[in-house]
Chains A and B, each alone.
Chain A
Amino acid sequence: MKSNDVILQTVTKIVTFIILTFAIYLFLAGHHEPGGGFIGGLVITSALTLLYLAFDIETVREGLPVDFKVVAAIGVFIAVATGMGSLLFDQPFLSQTFGYFNLPIFGKTELATAVLFDLGVALAVVGTGVTIILSISGDA
């Protein structure tokens, strides 16, 4: 029987962008509200899982030619490097700082160094999650 996935694939093309937008919102909200790098990475992983479900591994690999084990390693490196960076300023390991800057569009904005650490956590979670899903999905 010839399979037909038109509805699933059409819905996926729209819903993936909604989920990725929500993931970026969660990632940036993680300072004063619920959210952060871990849950942002998990939501990005679920968006990629939806893509893998609707299409196949080969198609997604063509559009996103990334080895996710390398992504996990880069994420852990970024997280540890931002932790070590505080040692350069004679502060304890993993200490953070923040400041207020006047950006062109956003106006007065709070920029924190914890976002860099969160970026490392998010990349590590995305790499680990996608690697696990591709490993247990059988014929990878």
Chain B
Amino acid sequence: MFERILLMALFFLTISILVGLYRVIKGPSLPDRVVALDTIGINIIAGVAIISILLNTHAFFDIILVIGILSFIGTISFSKFIERGYIIEYKRDY
């Protein structure tokens, strides 16, 4: 029963990732794509957590942290690019 619930959750997370992927490809503007990429990252984290419950192991927890860090930095750099037009500046003037 519990395993079936986990498999159903994994299925719906997969559908959610696919919908996000559609928004990344089709999205009219750049902010849509950035938000969709962030959503895909969070869904992947949830999927890895469910898989590690299903396989009854704790070897995947490092992967969760790494995906979280990379998704965070990617979202921040995209946001800064949208807001300012550059990502890393040589010397800031404030």
**Interface secondary structure of B, over-half rule:** helix
Give complex CA distance A106, B84 in Å. 49
Tell me which residues across on chain B come within 8 A of A43, comparing CB atoms. 66, 69
Q: Which residues of A line the B interface, CB within 8 A?
A: 2-3, 8, 15, 19, 22, 26, 29, 33-35, 39, 43, 46, 49-50, 52-53, 55-59, 133-134, 137-140
Give complex CA distance A91, B36 in Å. 53
Min C-beta distance of A74 to chain B, whole Å: 24
Give complex CA distance A39, B66 in Å. 9
Q: Which residues of B line the A interface, CB within 8 A?
A: 59, 62-63, 65-66, 69-70, 72-73, 76-77, 80, 84, 86-92, 94
B76 A139 Cβ-Cβ under 8 A: no
**Interface secondary structure of A, over-half rule:** helix
- Apart from the given pairs A15-B72, A57-B88, A134-B88, 13 other A-B contacts in the complex at a CB distance below 8 Å: A3-B94, A43-B66, A46-B70, A50-B73, A53-B73, A53-B77, A57-B89, A58-B90, A58-B91, A137-B88, A138-B87, A138-B88, A139-B86
